[in-house]
Structure 1
Amino acid sequence: MLLNCGQPLPLLRHTDVPPRVIENFILTGYRFPNYSLRDCLWSAFRPTNETGNFWTHFLPVFVFFYYFAEVFGWDGARHADDSFFYPLWNYFIGVFCLLMASSLAHLLNSMSIVVREVCFFVDYGTISAYTVGSSLAYYYYIHPRAGLLETQGQNGSQLVQDIIGSIKPSYAMPDFSVFFDSLYIPSACVVAIVCVLSCCNTRQKWRQYRYIIRTFVFLLPFFISSTPIFYRLLTKSPYSDKSSSFVASNTMAVFFYRHCFWLLLSAVFNISKLPERLAPGRFDIWGHSHQWFHCFTSLSILDELHMIKAEIRAILLCPTLLLPPASPPRLPGPTIASTYGVMLLLQTTIVSIIVWFSWRANRIYGPQRDQLAKDHMKKHTKCH
């Protein structure tokens, strides 16, 4: 227990904990890897080498929710449970699970060596789920045809034709049409699964290069998920340059560049292990690289949310371009199956992967966990 005879258990040096627990260049502030659940929760308010890791992803949950909820108070916004917002809710679920899983993984990982492995398997799984949640939001709000009615033919109203008369054709090449319509979401899901498998493997193999592998593995889903944004940046806006939608959508580029900048910084800190590499032991509690990694990823997610909100506002400012329930749009509107169904199928697959790796971890580290538990009980059964 954290309170042993009225005194908190001392934080340990890297020489006093199992090698599995040691982080590069972090010399002190380690918790003993047999804390109870209660002890772990209390440790959030005690300066350890994991305290900053917890708070730098737990507090952003509330910041993200504040800016997320703004969308439903906009003029012209549909009700929160309208199908138009299904992709946005899936994005919210992905971000919420990512931030909560990450913060709890850092808070609870000292319960045992096996629990530590499971915590970070779940962490990797939620990162992959988040990338697919982002892809769903990109697909329905930033897709080259997002929110636009079929413009060909003579059945459209003159008002619609006037609004979209200056729109550039949605695709520059037929191959892009095939990718966006049929391959984009499946590709995002497949890449997400590959990422989970690769990152979970780095906890049992390739440990010397684990930070480099994990960082570069998640670059792939970034490039796949961001293809609608790349296309939008390289082509003409789908909105008339005289419309308020154009003004709203035009801010997307700034938010995307900032999103990329924060991601780049997070990757640099995650791989370089700065600043603790320059002064081992000095940044054990506050200011080490993983805390900066968390801060920059949170900022990247916040700018990504602003980018998505800019596109939603652009669509809402042009009601005639909204996906109508009565007429067949060029891009089918979001449904429960195409949003929640996709995420449910993905999460089921990810959970299966996590269960498999957790079973393997229990076989590998279970005996070590049991021995540490015995030693821990012998050491702390009496008051001194």
Structure 2
Amino acid sequence: MSGYRHPCSSVKDCVLSLFQLTNETLNIWTHFLPTWFFFWKLLTGMLEMGDIKDPFTWPLLVFLLSCCSAITYSFYTFPEKWVNSTFHTYYVPIAIVNSIISTALACYSRCPHKLKEKLCKRLRIVGFVYPYVFDSIPLFYRIFVCVGEGCTVNEANTFHYWHISLAALTGFLFATHLPERLAPGSFDYIGHSHQLFHVFAIIGTYFQMTAIELDMTVRRQWLHAHLLPITFSNTVGAALLSVISSLCIIYIFSMALFSTRSMKEK
């Protein structure tokens, strides 16, 4: 209800707002600081895993691009029963399309002058939930459905449970706007749902990365023997394509916002 920055702030105003208490300040810092932590953790993890020239370390680079974690899932968290299956073969291309669609939904939901507020909110939620659910289909099967031989039960599963639980919690907070809806105005600066969403998402990402590192360590020899060749095009290349496509979508919607602003000024 309060603490908003001016909608027509200059670049200087935006930079200075990093050090001013607004309802976005903690949102910014809960993105910025963990980014560097995860960057450091991934780099040290890759060094521990082996030579950067080894293709089996390339999927870790995908996390640095922060756009298509499904690619990493496709190599390290698939249950053994699904490795090299038809679903596995087409998993990465579909994941790229999903990344593009989710970015488009997130951007389109930011145009309330064209859409009703409730529809905007639903589109934004779908933009987050839809790619996560698809990316996690192999993991959900491995954790909750698969029984018997080839189900890949190891010490990483505990961390996968934590990651899934925290992902569900972040989705719940994002959709319900708790706790600020219970006490409007009391959590404008500290403690509102979007800040909590960031914090639990960060913790969930930590568990996710830990689980993937464990899967890489424990399953490395088996994957080397059974997995299709890991190439630049189906790991980092695919992630780069997702990044470029998403940036193009963001650029298109940003230009639309700038043109709307100039029209209002005129």
Q: Which amino acid is 2:255 matched to? A: W
The structure-2 alpha-carbon separation of the partners of 1:333 and 1:143, relative to structure 1 and needing over 3 Å to count, comes to farther
Please list, as runs of the form range in 1=range in 2, the aligned pairs for 1:79-118 lying within 5 A after superposition: 79-94=51-66
Tell me the equivalent position of 2:86.
178
Residue 191 (structure 1) aligned to one of 83, 98, 119: 98
Matches of 1:34 and 1:171 in 2, distance apart?
51
- Give the share of equivalent positions with the same residue, in percent: 31
Q: Are the equivalent residues in 2 in contact too, given 1:140–1:333 (CA < 8 A)?
A: no
Q: Residue 339 in 1 paired to residue 249 in 2?
A: no
1:86 positional shift: 0.9
Matches of 1:224 and 1:178 in 2, distance apart?
15
Q: Which amino acid is 1:213 matched to? A: L
* Max Rg structure: 1
The structure-2 alpha-carbon separation of the partners of 1:275 and 1:53, relative to structure 1 and needing over 3 Å to count, comes to same
Q: Which amino acid is 1:347 matched to? A: V
Matches of 1:38 and 1:178 in 2, distance apart?
52
Residue 138 (structure 1) aligned to one of 59, 62, 73: 73
Q: Which protein has greater RCO, CA pairs closer than 8 Å, 6+ apart? A: 2
The structure-2 alpha-carbon separation of the partners of 1:138 and 1:236, relative to structure 1 and needing over 3 Å to count, comes to farther
Tell me the equivalent position of 1:229.
139
RMSD: 2.5
Q: Which amino acid is 2:109 matched to? A: T
The structure-2 alpha-carbon separation of the partners of 1:222 and 1:274, relative to structure 1 and needing over 3 Å to count, comes to same
The structure-2 alpha-carbon separation of the partners of 1:237 and 1:85, relative to structure 1 and needing over 3 Å to count, comes to farther
Residue 256 (structure 1) aligned to one of 137, 155, 160: 160
1:278 positional shift: 1.8
Q: Residue 49 in 1 paired to residue 26 in 2?
A: no
Q: Which amino acid is 1:56 matched to? A: T
Q: Are the equivalent residues in 2 in contact too, given 1:56–1:295 (CA < 8 A)?
A: yes
1:60 positional shift: 1.3
- 5+ residue gaps, structure 2, are none
1:312 positional shift: 0.9
Matches of 2:56 and 2:41 in 1, distance apart?
18
Matches of 1:135 and 1:216 in 2, distance apart?
17
The structure-2 alpha-carbon separation of the partners of 1:235 and 1:69, relative to structure 1 and needing over 3 Å to count, comes to farther
Query: Is 30-39 or 274-283 further displaced after alignment?
Result: 30-39
Q: Residue 291 in 1 paired to residue 169 in 2?
A: no
Q: Which amino acid is 1:89 matched to? A: L
Tell me the equivalent position of 1:271.
175
Q: Are the equivalent residues in 2 in contact too, given 1:199–1:214 (CA < 8 A)?
A: yes
The structure-2 alpha-carbon separation of the partners of 1:362 and 1:39, relative to structure 1 and needing over 3 Å to count, comes to closer
Q: Which amino acid is 2:186 matched to? A: R
What secondary structure, in the 3-state scheme, does the structure 2 residue paired with 1:47 have? coil
Residue 59 (structure 1) aligned to one of 33, 37, 58: 33
- 5+ residue gaps, structure 1, are 1-25, 95-129, 146-169, 240-245, 324-328, 372-384
The structure-2 alpha-carbon separation of the partners of 1:251 and 1:212, relative to structure 1 and needing over 3 Å to count, comes to farther
Provide the TM-score with structure 1 as the length reference. Answer: 0.62
Tell me the equivalent position of 1:151.
none
The structure-2 alpha-carbon separation of the partners of 1:322 and 1:171, relative to structure 1 and needing over 3 Å to count, comes to closer
The structure with the greater share of residues assigned to helix is 2
